[in-house]
Chains A and B, each alone.
Chain A
Amino acid sequence: MKRISINPITRLEGHGTIEILLDEQGNVANTYFQVPELRGFEQFCVARRAEDMPEITSRICGVCPEAHHMAAVKALDKLFAVEPPSAAKKLRELFYMAFFVTDHTTHFYALGGPDFILGPDAPPAERNILGVVRKVGLEIGKQVMECRARNHHVIEMLGGRAIHPTAGVPGGWSKSLSEEAGAEVQAIAEKNIEFALFTLQLFDKLVLGNSAYLDLVTSEVYLHRTYSMGTVDENNRLNFYDGKIRVVDPDGHEFLKYDASEYASHIAERVEPWTYLKFPYLKKLGWKGFTDGSESGVYAATPLARLNVCDGLTTSRAQEHFERFYQTFGSRKVNGRFQPVHYRLATHWARLIELLYAAERMKELAMDPEITSPEVRNIPQRVAGEGIGCVEAPRGTLTHHYVTDENAILKRVNLVVGTTNNYAAMSMSIKRVAEKLIHGHAVIEEGLLNRVEMAFRLYDPCLSCATHSLPGSMPLIVNIRNLRGEVLKSLRRD
């Protein structure tokens, strides 16, 4: 019996190790994706003022500060029992759409796209944004950078600061939008729509037009029939900023729909002795181990899961692509909704449909006459003592939960971050890859590293976020161990 361990996260932080244990025949007995502990986040927050949380939590991750800022601000609305004016909600959502456009764009061109544009077995040194530019042309790189720059500009203009936003306050938004700035945001949103359509076309040409890639997307390796989670509006349409949390079963039947404030009644967290990160699961079904199917409480909260839970999208062009997506995978409509797609690599496509939706929604909001209203804040009058705020982060449903004393001094803090929701599903993908590529002690070395990387990339895990830290680089280290834990072979890619 052997044990294989993969360290995909960072040699600098010693983060995240994958242990693969082989049985006596040299086949995979089990895999363990371990995430180490970061200490003292709750203690760090306790005894601080609740209104500092949008600032503090936006610093726990350098990648998605906007998502934490937004979840924190929504938690504070509840904590201070104050309803923001309609214009403030729209400004928050507008800001959030600019963030989604830049995050989804960067993910596709820098992480997800290279697997397809250069091929999953291209040398790792080429499977990056530079490789994409070399293969497809400088113009693509230029467009990606322009897209990032113009949306960073919107984030700064609306959020008050380029990196860590400051504009969100309990009861609203700290500054209104001028007519002139609104027109500028609208023009940027129009460019975003064009760019999203161009990116979907590129995906069409590169992936859908290539049967080898389609075979890869629909291969068993990345197929997990889990429950799906996402946020929907009052008409069951996708929404990133607000709504109810909807969970559908693997066949697409609605299983749960609840207000974010009820999350603790529906989600429990499994603790495993071999990792510090907890595994959230659906309480009603219970924890049945790392397994999919309708009996297992494992769920996913990803761009793919979000499309799976909603009845449709509110913007016209994204809706067309949404329908095409399900039709391509042969999904039929049951009770007015497409049956879920479970091919995890299709998450890349789902992310691009969300990119288009975010761009279209951004334009809608920028054109809304109310967006330039000066009524952007209601002043809190009392402390309710508890607040739960929830948004869809690019990487999944994000929940912030604060409990305070009567002076709004924090007593308890709990965060369920996007990546954590998908920890069990990621672990399952890793096991599947290992089972596929390790037989009778024979390990397909490069294949193993590449396929594990692909499993990671589709979720774009933010372990920094999940463990409340910051990311470093992401090398891969694979150690093959026997039953006694001795390393028999070590594969490494920095």
Chain B
Amino acid sequence: MKGLMATIIIGIGNPVLTDDSVGIKVVRALAERLPAQKDTVIRELSAGGLRLMEALEGFERAIIIDAIVTEGGEAGSVYRLTPSGLMQTRNTCSTHDANFVDALELGRSLGLLLPREIGIWAIEAGDVRTFSEELTGPVRAAVPRVVEAVVRRLNESGRQAA
């Protein structure tokens, strides 16, 4: 059950920049929703790129939750993405080192044990320009939906959720 079976769930974003914090809010809710399990690790991160790739090392599966801003997107919309998908979420890249796709390729070419399955949940943000710990309404409403979706995903693969 350990090692190869382990799952890491990462919420990424700035916890004090309104909707940019949605990934963090989702994983905090997940931490309450899921019973402590040895094979599921929940983490918060503030920077993507190499740092995100490093956080994935040693896990079989990863679930990443981040905010996204798309052209004409409706705040609170939820998207399922894969790392190879063309869309970049707000924080999976780092302007200071590498984008996530390059970081993953680097990790794999160096022989690091990286997850075979990486799922990204991206939530369309409304406001990412104002300092606040609160989410805007539509984004707040999306949090339980994403939490349920992640729990379902874990259950589908045989994980035990509360």
Chain B residue, CB-CB nearest to A43: B131
- Residue B105, interface by CB 8 Å: yes
The answer to whether A62 touches B14, judged by C-beta atoms less than 8 angstroms apart, is yes
Chain A positions within 8 Å of B109 at CB level:
130, 133, 138, 141
The answer to whether B129 touches A128, judged by C-beta atoms less than 8 angstroms apart, is no
- Residue A29, interface by CB 8 Å: no
- Given A38-B130, A141-B106, the answer on whether A473 and B99 have CB atoms closer than 8 Å is yes
What is the CA–CA distance of A138 and B69 in the complex, to the nearest angstrom? 35
- Given A12-B90, A39-B131, A106-B97, the answer on whether A56 and B106 have CB atoms closer than 8 Å is no
Interface 9-mer from A203-211, A267-275, A462-470? A462-470
Chain A positions within 8 Å of B94 at CB level:
62-63, 471
Interface 9-mer from B27-35, B45-53, B138-146, B152-160? B45-53
Within 8 A of A (CB), among B96-114: 96-99, 102, 105-107, 109-110, 112
- Residue A142, interface by CB 8 Å: yes
Among candidates A60, A462, A464, residue contacting B16 with C-beta atoms closer than 8 Å? A60
Number of A-B contacts (CB under 8 A): 126
- Residue A65, interface by CB 8 Å: yes
- Residue B17, interface by CB 8 Å: yes
What is the CA–CA distance of A60 and B133 in the complex, to the nearest angstrom? 12
- Residue A21, interface by CB 8 Å: no
Expressed in whole angstroms, the minimum distance between the Cβ of B71 and any Cβ of chain A is 9
Among candidates A106, A111, A138, residue contacting B110 with C-beta atoms closer than 8 Å? A138
The answer to whether A469 touches B17, judged by C-beta atoms less than 8 angstroms apart, is yes
The answer to whether A65 touches B46, judged by C-beta atoms less than 8 angstroms apart, is yes
Chain A residue, CB-CB nearest to B94: A471
Chain B positions within 8 Å of A12 at CB level:
68-69, 88-90
The answer to whether A62 touches B130, judged by C-beta atoms less than 8 angstroms apart, is no
Chain B positions within 8 Å of A43 at CB level:
131
- Given A133-B106, A148-B50, A149-B54, the answer on whether A474 and B131 have CB atoms closer than 8 Å is no
Q: State the interface size on chain B (CB cutoff 8 A).
A: 40
What is the CA–CA distance of A10 and B129 in the complex, to the nearest angstrom? 13
- Residue A190, interface by CB 8 Å: no
Fill in one digit per residue for A438-481: 1 if any B CB lies within 8 Å of its CB, else 0: 00000000000000000000001010100011111110000000
What is the CA–CA distance of A148 and B97 in the complex, to the nearest angstrom? 12
The answer to whether A59 touches B97, judged by C-beta atoms less than 8 angstroms apart, is no
Chain A positions within 8 Å of B110 at CB level:
133, 138, 141-142, 145
- Given A43-B131, A133-B109, the answer on whether A110 and B50 have CB atoms closer than 8 Å is yes
Expressed in whole angstroms, the minimum distance between the Cβ of A143 and any Cβ of chain B is 10
The answer to whether A62 touches B91, judged by C-beta atoms less than 8 angstroms apart, is yes
Fill in one digit per residue for B118-147: 1 if any A CB lies within 8 Å of its CB, else 0: 000000000011111000000000000000
Expressed in whole angstroms, the minimum distance between the Cβ of A291 and any Cβ of chain B is 28
Q: Range of interface residues on chain A?
A: 35 or more
Among candidates B15, B51, B91, B132, residue contacting A59 with C-beta atoms closer than 8 Å? B15
- Residue A486, interface by CB 8 Å: no
What is the CA–CA distance of A474 and B90 in the complex, to the nearest angstrom? 11
The answer to whether B132 touches A40, judged by C-beta atoms less than 8 angstroms apart, is yes
Among candidates A36, A138, A462, residue contacting B96 with C-beta atoms closer than 8 Å? A462
The answer to whether A44 touches B95, judged by C-beta atoms less than 8 angstroms apart, is no
- Residue A164, interface by CB 8 Å: yes
- Given A60-B16, A145-B110, the answer on whether A44 and B46 have CB atoms closer than 8 Å is no
Expressed in whole angstroms, the minimum distance between the Cβ of A215 and any Cβ of chain B is 28
Chain B positions within 8 Å of A37 at CB level:
129
- Residue B26, interface by CB 8 Å: no
Chain B positions within 8 Å of A149 at CB level:
54
What is the CA–CA distance of A222 and B53 in the complex, to the nearest angstrom? 34
The answer to whether A13 touches B132, judged by C-beta atoms less than 8 angstroms apart, is no
Chain A positions within 8 Å of B47 at CB level:
62-63, 163, 470-471
- Residue A238, interface by CB 8 Å: no
Fill in one digit per residue for A245-270: 1 if any B CB lies within 8 Å of its CB, else 0: 00000000000000000000000000
Chain A positions within 8 Å of B97 at CB level:
106, 110-111, 129
Within 8 A of B (CB), among A47-103: 56, 59-60, 62-63, 65
Can you show 18 pairs from A to B with CB atoms below 8 A apart? A10-B95, A12-B68, A37-B129, A39-B130, A43-B131, A59-B16, A60-B14, A62-B45, A106-B50, A106-B96, A129-B50, A130-B106, A149-B54, A470-B20, A470-B47, A471-B94, A472-B90, A474-B95
- Name B's A-contacting residues (CB within 8 A): 13-17, 20, 44-51, 54, 68-69, 88-91, 93-99, 102, 105-107, 109-110, 112, 128-132
